[in-house]
């Protein structure tokens, strides 16, 4: 710890008397913390501001390695927030306001994987707040740019993302929860933006390895909420294997899970999906691209959900041969199917 500076004035346990505190220091890695606050001991109360610069999350491994199997390799975090805490009888109140954070050059790796699980060039949280007593998180803006993800399904069917958390020892039985209708945590986000993202899917559970690439992923969402019956607006677009494209525009909500999107897709090549048909049909694709326009609806019903799609499908430059003899089975220039349900 370098450049440690601590100033404390007026501290007393006399009721209602406030003190001032200032604290700053730097780590050997160049991380810097600055803290200013006003506080009193009786009753307990404090208000202050914290500024954190150049925090390296990779250095926090001793604190997360027992829970997280993946390892943070790179990243820099800047964070600033106002805070307040107060002890009101049996209720302890703690709030963060004017919370802003910026994570840069983040990289998360998992042992045995050929690519990092996630790379994020920039992730910014803007104008946000946390209220511990009310169990509420409010995000003014969430912006993610220049990122990539790697999703692998191994030959045994296990997806790498399910290995992120380490198995924990079974805890002793907890006492029954009190049926007091306690408030659940609520998260609201006014604006969400994701740009220049890509995800590679590497499926090794098929007869032959299959790879699907989503690139130029962009997302815009407004008024996202985990509260009941709160519907968010969303627009999502992406490239599929570089040539194809898909765009979804509509609304969705979390509680209950419901979505309604207008879908538009074109030039999605079929050959990369051949391995998902190999053990189901006696043919090999030699060409073809699919497009569609319609409405996608998902609704929670009972203990499950129902997915419906209504629209049209176009298949162009399609070709297929018999698997063993390579004899031509099907070929057409264009096929259009309307009013599909």
pLDDT tens-digit profile of 253-275?
Answer: 999 999 999 999 999 999 999 99
Type and span of the H or E element at 111: none
What is the average pLDDT value for the chain, to the nearest integer? 92
| 284 in a structural domain | yes
User: Does the structure show a pLDDT above 80 at 149?
Assistant: yes
pLDDT recorded at residue 6: 94
Residues 6+ apart with CB under 8 A from 116: 73, 107, 108, 109, 148, 150
Q: What's the CA gap between 330 and 286, in Å, rounded? A: 10
pLDDT recorded at residue 176: 58
Confirm if 320 and 286 have CB atoms less than 8 A apart: yes
User: Does the structure show a pLDDT above 90 at 196?
Assistant: yes
Rounded-to-5 percentages of helix, strand, coil across the chain: 5, 65, 30
Q: What's the CA gap between 332 and 316, in Å, rounded? A: 7
> Residue 317 region, left (φ>0) first, then alpha (ψ -120 to 50), else beta?
left
Q: What is the pLDDT of residues 13-72, one digit of tens each?
A: 888 899 999 999 999 999 999 999 999 998 999 999 999 999 999 999 999 999 999 999
pLDDT recorded at residue 339: 76
The neighbouring-strand residues paired with 336 are 314
pLDDT recorded at residue 226: 95
Q: What's the CA gap between 239 and 168, in Å, rounded? A: 39
pLDDT recorded at residue 171: 60
Burial of residue 136 (CB within 10 Å: 0-12, 13-18, 19+) is: middle
| 304 in a structural domain | yes
Confirm if 201 and 151 have CB atoms less than 8 A apart: yes
- Of all residues in the chain, the percent with pLDDT exceeding 90 is 77
pLDDT recorded at residue 297: 96
The neighbouring-strand residues paired with 283 are 322
Residues 6+ apart with CB under 8 A from 207: 275, 278, 279
Mean per-residue pLDDT for 227-254? 96
- Structural domain harbouring 298: 245-341
| 210 in a structural domain | no
Q: What is the pLDDT of residues 154-180, one digit of tens each?
A: 999 999 999 998 887 776 555 555 554
| 27 in a structural domain | no
pLDDT recorded at residue 260: 97
User: Does the structure show a pLDDT above 80 at 215?
Assistant: yes
pLDDT recorded at residue 173: 54
| 250 in a structural domain | yes
| 271 in a structural domain | yes
Q: Report long-range pairs for 245-252 (Cβ below 8 Å, ≥24 apart).
A: 248/296, 250/296
pTM beyond 0.85, yes or no: yes
| 102 in a structural domain | no
Q: What is the pLDDT of residues 280-304, one digit of tens each?
A: 888 899 999 999 999 999 998 877 8
Of 81-85, 104-108, 175-179, 277-281, the least confident:
175-179
Q: How many domains does the chain have?
A: 1
Q: What's the CA gap between 35 and 66, in Å, rounded? A: 29
| 306 in a structural domain | yes
């Amino acid at each position: 710890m370098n450049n440690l500076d601590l100033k404390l004035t007026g501290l007393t346990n006399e009721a209602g008397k406030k003190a001032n505190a200032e604290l700053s220091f730097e780590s050997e890695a160049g991380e810097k913390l600055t803290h200013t606050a006003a506080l009193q001991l009786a009753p307990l109360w404090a208000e202050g501001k914290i500024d954190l610069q150049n925090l390296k999350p990779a250095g926090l491994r001793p604190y997360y390695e027992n829970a997280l199997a993946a390892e943070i390799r790179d990243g820099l975090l800047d964070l600033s927030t106002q805070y307040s805490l107060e002890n009101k009888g049996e209720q302890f109140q703690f709030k963060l306001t004017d919370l802003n954070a910026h994570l840069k050059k983040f990289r998360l790796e998992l042992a045995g994987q050929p690519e990092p699980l996630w790379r994020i060039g920039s992730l910014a949280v803007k104008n946000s707040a946390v209220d511990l007593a009310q169990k509420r998180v409010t995000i003014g803006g969430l912006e993610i740019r220049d990122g990539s993800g790697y999703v692998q399904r191994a030959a045994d069917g296990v997806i790498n993302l399910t290995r992120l958390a380490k198995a924990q020892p079974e805890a002793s039985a907890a006492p029954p929860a009190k049926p007091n209708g306690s408030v659940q945590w609520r998260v609201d986000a006014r604006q969400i933006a994701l740009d220049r993202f890509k995800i590679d899917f590497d499926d090794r559970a098929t007869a032959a390895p299959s790879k699907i690439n989503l690139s130029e992923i962009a997302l815009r969402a407004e008024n996202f909420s985990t509260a009941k019956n709160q519907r968010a607006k969303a627009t999502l677009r992406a490239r599929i294997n570089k040539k194809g494209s898909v765009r979804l525009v509509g609304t969705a909500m979390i509680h209950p899970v419901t979505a309604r999107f207008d879908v538009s897709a074109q030039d999605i090549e079929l050959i990369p999906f051949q391995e998902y048909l190999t053990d189901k049909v006696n043919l090999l694709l030699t060409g073809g691209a699919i497009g569609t326009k319609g409405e996608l609806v998902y609704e929670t019903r009972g203990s499950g959900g129902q997915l419906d799609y209504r629209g049209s499908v176009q298949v162009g430059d399609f070709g297929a041969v018999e698997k063993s003899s390579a004899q031509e089975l099907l070929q057409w220039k264009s096929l259009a199917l309307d009013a599909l349900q």
